[in-house]
Amino acid sequence: MNGSDSRTAAYGLVPADTTEDVRSRGAEVSTQVAVLPVGSFEQHGPYLPLATDTLVACAVAREIAAAYPVHLLPPVTIACSHEHAAWPGTVSISSVTLHAVVRDIADSLRRSGVETLVVVNGHGGNYVLGNVVQESSARGERMALFPAAEDWETALERAGVVTSLLTDMHAGEIETSILLHAHPELIRPGYETSDFVADDRRHLLTLGMSGYTESGVIGRPSLGSAEKGKALLASLADSFGAYFSMVTADA
């Protein structure tokens, strides 16, 4: 545990650090690492909030900040959710805009002495984040994207999640479990009876989610539990150790 209990407890969606907190933490490490949660604002069926992906990304980032000496940033709350446009409440920005926002944040961090940025992605449709990291790394800048599919696979196994990543596409067992643990007060009734499977989604980019589901759900939320959510987050925090070692090596 790198930070004080009070620091960790103070974190909501917006970190409670002061500039002195950041200065003190930076003095204790050879390489400063910032963690940026990126979510979305999109439909998640009738029982999970529009901000689900942001809440998940923030929950993962908080676990990381509780275990590693990182500078936790506030989340990017609107991203690339164009496949959900058929549902009211969904808001998107272009991939070009998201690319520019993350680049600008990384540039700003470097000017203030934070050399490395790790992007914690909570939304599968934010494909452009992979390009941002690829391009930044090619320029010799330190950036990483977390979690990878392999990190999720490890977390599913450790948490006893039954549904595969293919089937658990949206508002399913994983997201419901994490919110049952981290934000149970935000879940509405209905997840217990909303299971829907559509594993063949080869035309998703063309048809959008509405081509595969009427409810907006693809997965098995009825299998979700707070215990699984806690275990998922703990496993992801453990997996982050390899990323932290990589981005701080030979600094």
Measure Cα distances from 29 to 14, 25, 209 in Å. 23, 7, 44
Distance CA 31, CA 247 (A): 8
Using the predicted structure, report yes or no on whether residue 10 has a pLDDT greater than 90. Answer: no
Sign, Cα dihedral of 140, 144, 148, 154: positive
Confidence of residue 8 (pLDDT cuts 50, 70, 90): very low
Q: For residue 170, what pLDDT is reported?
A: 98
Segment 157-178, tens digit of pLDDT: 999 999 999 999 999 999 999 9
Q: Please report, as a single letter, which amino acid is at residue 122.
A: G
CA distance 4 to 171: 33
Asked if residue 102 has pLDDT above 60, the reply is: yes
For 112-136, how does the pLDDT look when each residue is reduced to its tens digit (9 = 90+)?
999 999 999 999 999 999 999 999 9
Give the model confidence (pLDDT) of 43-91 as tens digits.
999 999 999 999 999 999 999 999 999 999 999 999 999 999 999 999 9
pLDDT at 49: 98
**Token duo for residue 167:** 């089937």
Q: What is the pLDDT of residue 28?
A: 86
Name which of 85, 87, 60, 90 is nearest 75 in CA terms: 60
Residue type, 213: T
Closest CA to 170 of 210, 130, 131, 230: 210
Separation between Cα atoms, residue 27 and residue 96, nearest integer Å: 35
Q: How many CA atoms lie within 13 A of 215 on its CB side?
A: 20
Residue 20 has pLDDT above 60, yes or no: yes
Pairing of strands 142-146, 33-38: unpaired
Location of structure tokens 């600094």: 251
pTM of the model: 0.94
State residue 5's pLDDT score. 43
Query: What is the pLDDT, as a whole number, of residue 12?
Result: 66
Residues 11 and 174: their CA atoms lie apart, in Å, by 22
At 251, the pLDDT band (50, 70, 90 cuts) reads low
Q: What percent of the chain has pLDDT over 90?
A: 88
pLDDT at 7 over 80: no
Q: Quote helix, strand, coil % in the chain, to nearest 5.
A: 50, 10, 40
Is residue 223 within 8 A of residue 162, CB to CB? The reply is yes
What burial class does residue 186 get, using C-beta atoms within 10 Å of its C-beta: 0-12 exposed, 13-18 middle, 19+ buried? middle
Q: What is the CA radius of gyration of the chain?
A: 18
- Nearest-angstrom CA–CA distance, 56 and 222: 18
pLDDT, position 156: 98
Q: Give tens-digit pLDDT for 192-221.
A: 999 999 999 999 999 999 999 999 999 999
SS (H, E, C) 227-251: HHHHHHHHHHHHHHHHHHHHHHCCC
